[in-house]
Structure 1
């Protein structure tokens, strides 16, 4: 009886729960950012988000990683990653000024496909024809959403796609970090580097913060930090193949927040394109899991 219990499939409820709530928090973070773009530069929003979040990030790192989580063996690598983070966030926040929340969110989901392309082209990793097919299908979904050459095409629609590219570089740049450093170290230094680098430019775009907007900046930092923490923990409690596809629930939250706050409704082509991107992304996740287990 005991052996039967020990061989039973492990429940991943905790990981699934953390991933779902974490994605919802990050979607709320995006909604706060979009609301703030009406009165502030994306750079100022990013700067204040990082400054407010940094103390909480340090506390979280100490709780889960101990004092060693604050030590970096390659500070320059973190500074370069911070530059990528600032660039990605700036473009994504800027896209909120012109695009609906759901549309921008759907387009950023092509980041995994950029990771595949970069890994094959520049890192010499072997990529099979099935993953290349998934990449092509994913970009078909992008074309369906942005409709280049069509009457509804906006050049700004390329911003979330560019964000996805820089975000893919950010994910791959984790290889530059010393292997002795934990994910909590990465989280602290990414937030700190983002605050430092954005501080160098923010005086040129700074406007006084209105008191009625303070709760929006606080919410941006709180939900963003909570989301990243819970998603990080989710991957500790459950395999990637279980929790990674749940990242796409962010599109549901983005659609809900967009409708509730701004009365945005994604058109049929955006829904179709998002479905294509999600389907190819889920296929890629399960394909990588199958190859890893073979």
Structure 2
């Protein structure tokens, strides 16, 4: 039997692989964006992403224990998450075709900052001064990367920011779902709805252009499988350890995006990313640190100073 430390180490490893798969998916999207619309790519990504999503659901012990039910009480919220994710993907995929890969990816990491802010009106959480300071630091980094008012500023930089907001909104809504609903089932609802939403958006914007050949088909399948597998690995890693143990490694994705963008597209936007990227990561890590402190305080309060250890 694995020890807790072994399981945490494995969970961290799986989450890092998931980040690499997400970035690999982004590289493919950037490659394909020259010939396919963002809505079209979103539809393809979600369609082929249904396979890993279904595997995640079938692997869920909680789902089997509840009689393999596919219906859930809050199905409207589950579908709403899928529609919001469709918008997020549309904006982010468009940004990948217009911005350096690492720039779009780094701005997208503002989702953790948005989640903290959205938790106040949507979840009724109390956010103290330390976490608001963290949000402010992170957003200052985002503004520095976007560079409003500078010659290098482009309105396309707003696209990954809108995507980050939508991804955060989808994440916060997931936390409003019933606690006894298996996470893979929530994910499957969202992915299936995104297939429909992205397909309708594609038709509204002119329709599918048609896959150009076997090569592009291979890239499209890989795109969907990479994205879906990344979600599957994250679900597994979140079930192996506390999310707080994984959150600090979330920002390795910025480094991965920079390296991959440099290797595959000869992009090295150091001047655009620094020091903004450091502030984005610092804001997110400060939120993680503060949440850990609050969790420890709650545990100590529940146990009480009189409790035997």
- Shorter-normalised TM-score: what interval? over 0.9
Q: Secondary structure at the match of 2:231?
A: helix
The 2-side partners of 1:60 and 1:114 are apart by: 27
Per the TM alignment, residue 36 of structure 1 is displaced from its structure 2 partner at its CA by: 1.1
The 3 A distance-change label for structure 1 pair 125 and 39 is: same
- 5 Å matches for 1:125-204? 125-203=125-203, 204=206
The 3 A distance-change label for structure 1 pair 51 and 198 is: same
Match of 1:111 in 2: 111
* 2:14–2:234 contact (8 Å) kept in structure 1: yes
- TM-score by length of structure 1 reads 0.92
More displaced 10-residue stretch of structure 1: 52-61 or 185-194: 52-61
The 3 A distance-change label for structure 1 pair 187 and 124 is: closer
Match of 1:3 in 2: none
> Does residue 54 of structure 1 match 2:57?
no
Per the TM alignment, residue 259 of structure 1 is displaced from its structure 2 partner at its CA by: 1.3
Match of 1:284 in 2: 287
The 1-side partners of 2:17 and 2:50 are apart by: 21
| Equivalent residue pairs, number | 288
Q: CA offsets, 1:175-197, max 9 Å, x none?
A: 44333311110111111010112
The 1-side partners of 2:249 and 2:27 are apart by: 19
Tell me, which stretches of 5 or more residues in structure 1 are unaligned? 1-5
The 2-side partners of 1:264 and 1:55 are apart by: 33
More displaced 10-residue stretch of structure 1: 39-48 or 166-175: 166-175
- TM-score by length of structure 2 reads 0.88
Match of 2:38 in 1: 42
The 1-side partners of 2:121 and 2:210 are apart by: 45
Per the TM alignment, residue 51 of structure 1 is displaced from its structure 2 partner at its CA by: 1.4
Tell me, which stretches of 5 or more residues in structure 2 are unaligned? 298-309
* 1:101–1:255 contact (8 Å) kept in structure 2: yes
Match of 1:10 in 2: 5
More displaced 10-residue stretch of structure 1: 15-24 or 239-248: 239-248
* 1:70–1:188 contact (8 Å) kept in structure 2: no
Q: CA offsets, 1:268-292, max 9 Å, x none?
A: 2413111111011111111101101
> Which of residues 272, 277, 280 in structure 2 aligns to 1:274?
277
The 3 A distance-change label for structure 1 pair 157 and 69 is: farther
